[in-house]
Amino acid sequence: MLVEQYLQARGSGEDKEIRATITRAINASPSLRNKRDLIEQFVDSVSPQGKVDAQWLAFVKARQAAELDQIIADEGLKPEETRAFVDNAFRDGAIPTTGTAITRIMPPVSRFSSDNHHGVKKQSVLDKLVAFFDRYFGWRDDNPAVTSTLWAANLANPHPVQRAEGFAADGAYSSATLT
């Protein structure tokens, strides 16, 4: 794992190339780009004592809680309902953008005002929660095996293999490996 190599080389001054490799791995993966600051802060804060995977889980949990608390404070959301809403979204694999679930976490806003405060507020909350969800989905799991597998798959290979799958215009399904 690149982070473990970085920790081993940190003391000898050889860490610049490994750090550059970590940055290239992040930039090479579209799914990691919105997590760049999170990964870089972890790499800077990781301790040589202890397991990297356990430190990563603790770091992600702390950052996730802090970011969700900030969204709750910024938008004036109901704390317990918002946490339950987000937990359900992670369980279900998506933030629900329709229905009444989102309105239950929002502060009371008139739906009948002439300037559409309700719609603007709802969209603002959804935008922030979707960005939060995208940032932590797949990295939040409390199962260390799942998280370390994701960590290794995303960062250990600076040139990840990507797959393209989909339906062609004629309705045929195809799959290809991109390098």
Q: Please give the C-alpha separations between residue 56 and each of 1, 16, 33, 59, 143, in angstroms, as whole numbers.
A: 13, 21, 17, 5, 12
Ramachandran sector of residue 59 (left: φ over 0; alpha: ψ -120 to 50; beta: rest): alpha
Give Cα 63 to chain centroid, integer Å.
Answer: 10
Q: Could you list the pLDDT tens digit for every one of the 179 residues in the chain? A: 555 555 555 544 455 677 777 788 888 888 888 888 888 888 877 777 777 788 888 899 999 999 999 999 999 999 999 999 999 999 999 999 888 899 899 988 777 777 778 888 899 999 999 999 999 987 755 444 444 444 444 444 444 434 444 445 455 544 444 43
pTM over 0.75: no
